[in-house]
Structure 1
Amino acid sequence: MLAGMAHRTIRTDVLDIAYEEHGPPDGATVILLHGFPYDPRAYDHVAPPLAADGRRVLVPYLRGYGPTRFLSPDTPRSGQQAALGHDLLRFMDALGIRRAALAGYDWGGRAACIVAALWPERASALVSVSGYNIQDIAASAAPAAAEQEHRFWYQYYFHTERGRAGLTANRRDICRLLWRLWSPEWRFDDATFDRSAASFDNPDFVDVVIQSYRHRFGYAPGDLALEPIEARLAARPLIAVPSIVLHGGHDGVGPAEQSQRHDRYFTGPYVRRVLPGIGHNLPQEAPDAVVAALRALPVAG
């Protein structure tokens, strides 16, 4: 956590969402969203310069991470894409945020894309790492090239009960390996990993992660309360808000060529930038690129 930075908590319909806040409370709002297996530490060098610009910068912990907690033991511990989009929308509602610039990667990029696509009036702009992040669950059974199937080993592992047991017992070992594989040129140290790994001790982390990677392949049911959102996402909605896509040129889980033709999913102003030598954890590896992208896009009104 940034020196002196303490998290706050806001209650939504199903969660107490922990978040960190930077900048003036009356500034134009930017929401920065982390992925799996990361946490808000990914934005430690993104939030301060944006706050110095006079923006209100919010960095929430996703469901299953850090101090964020479910309100009821009866709420499904779902990590499906509709849950992530729903959580972001309700987070904005709870804080009275009418519109915000959204930026995210991995799970967080999915949440940002979903809100920008389904509720465009709530997003003034979008920075999406690795492109259009809304999942095509109906097509998930189609095999990919062998190299891509190899990159997805952890997802297939999580489809098994052995994988659940492994993540429960060895979550830090697994997550550290994913950091190395996905960002092959990023030389992070033990302290950097440990600062984020503390968020994986959340009591719901394993359940949320396992459900996420099973649901996206149709191997686990979703939360019934979220089915209306999933139905809308199945139509592959387009994104009309001004958008910049950033893609790490050495992303070890989703190579940059995967987003080459994602412009077809964006109907508003759109720019795509590939960053050579950068891996999957782009905000932490190349924070200046995220700051520059957000500065180039419209400010929330």
Structure 2
Amino acid sequence: MKTVTAGVLEIAYRETGPKDGLPTVLLHGFPYDIHAFDAVADRLAAAGHRCIVPFLRGYGATRFLSAQTPRSGEQAALGADLLALLDALAIDRALLGGYDWGGRAACIVSALWPERVLGLVSCGTGYNIQNIAAAGQPVSPEEEARYWYQYYFHSERGRRALVENRRGVCEYIWTIWSPSWSFDSETFALSAAAFDNPDFVDVVIHSYRHRFGGIPGDPAFAAIEAQLARQPDIAVPTMVLQGADDGVDPPSARDYDAPHFTAFYVRRILPGIGHNLPQEAPDAFADAVLHLGRYSG
């Protein structure tokens, strides 16, 4: 494990592959960690990629530099963290791949700083930039039910559940989001250790309350949030991978996100795969990264 000072964080990350390889940053989501990319990173490293897999803010060994920094989980903070990581590691341009929170960070950097991105692999929601202004608009009852955990975290009861039983809550989420994935207790425990980060609860709670416009964000990221409110297009080569069995974000037959992508764009739906796509289908994820690597080259 390595660390680097990047923006407001000391980011812990795992690096594999040749130092002069094609820079590739792989970003996990909630409630997962860097182990989601173990098999993906091994394969990409063997193919000559320099793979960097960081713990997001609030996870694992990543730490805030100051006790005074707001423990924000808003989307702009995640994007700013990724940009700061690229700067800290002196990476001019990289392939980005992620899902859930990590996919959001990758989409934000791809949209706002496309000159830093060689290609994007986005899983689940392809265009993973929140439209906070529309967050109060009701959706179908089926979709509302899938968001139970978000509404739960709006309450003090939900916050206490994360404080007192975060592993139980997160393991249940793993189960219902990936109903076809038979992970064992050892696999979950390997990732669950990352939830012991002292800022995990604060960052998670802020993320789910902020995205509905219920609480303010960190003023330091207000300018980025203003840009994201305009729902900017993504103009980098992109492959979107979606699990057909995703229990929280099931893919629709119609690709509603496609108009947001203005460069090379492909969407693939993988049968028998749930939400944690890189860990459930590492070869498919690695193939997408390798394809973009060849495309960008």
TM-score, scaled relative to structure 2 = 0.98
1:298, 1:157 → 2: CA distance?
40
- Residue aligning to 2:180: 185
Deviation at 1:258, TM superposition (A): 7.8
User: Any unmatched runs of 5+ in structure 2?
Assistant: none
* Post-superposition CA distance 1:101-123 (Å, at most 9, x none): 00000000000000000000000
Report the AA paired with residue 45 of structure 1: A
- Residue aligning to 1:280: 275
1:125, 1:61 → 2: CA distance?
21
2:253, 2:64 → 1: CA distance?
34
Q: Give the secondary structure class of the aligned counterpart of 1:74.
A: coil
Does 1:246 pair with 2:241? yes
Deviation at 1:12, TM superposition (A): 1.4
Report the AA paired with residue 211 of structure 1: H
Q: Which residues of 2 match residues 28-47 of structure 1 at below 5 A?
A: 28-47=22-41
Does 1:171 pair with 2:166? yes
- Residue aligning to 2:95: 101
Correspondence for 1:128 among 122, 126, 138: 122
TM-score, scaled relative to structure 1 = 0.97
The number of residue pairs the alignment matches comes to 295
- Residue aligning to 1:4: none
User: Any unmatched runs of 5+ in structure 1?
Assistant: 1-6
- Residue aligning to 1:91: 85
Does 1:235 pair with 2:252? no
1:179, 1:144 → 2: CA distance?
23
Deviation at 1:13, TM superposition (A): 2.1
Q: Which residues of 2 match residues 189-200 of structure 1 at below 5 A?
A: 189-200=184-195
Correspondence for 1:16 among 3, 10, 13: 10
Q: Give the secondary structure class of the aligned counterpart of 1:64.
A: coil
- Residue aligning to 2:108: 114
- Give runs of ≥4 in structure 1 deviating > 4 Å: none
Deviation at 1:175, TM superposition (A): 0.1
Deviation at 1:295, TM superposition (A): 1.0
Report the AA paired with residue 268 of structure 1: A
Q: Give the secondary structure class of the aligned counterpart of 2:293.
A: coil
Q: Give the secondary structure class of the aligned counterpart of 2:39.
A: coil
Q: Which residues of 2 match residues 139-150 of structure 1 at below 5 A?
A: 139-150=134-145
1:149, 1:57 → 2: CA distance?
36
Deviation at 1:298, TM superposition (A): 3.4
Correspondence for 2:61 among 63, 67, 83: 67
1:59, 1:298 → 2: CA distance?
17
Q: Is the 8 A contact 1:132 1:259 kept in 2?
A: no
Does 1:215 pair with 2:210? yes
CA RMSD of aligned residues (A): 1.0
1:239, 1:108 → 2: CA distance?
16
Q: Is the 8 A contact 1:14 1:72 kept in 2?
A: yes
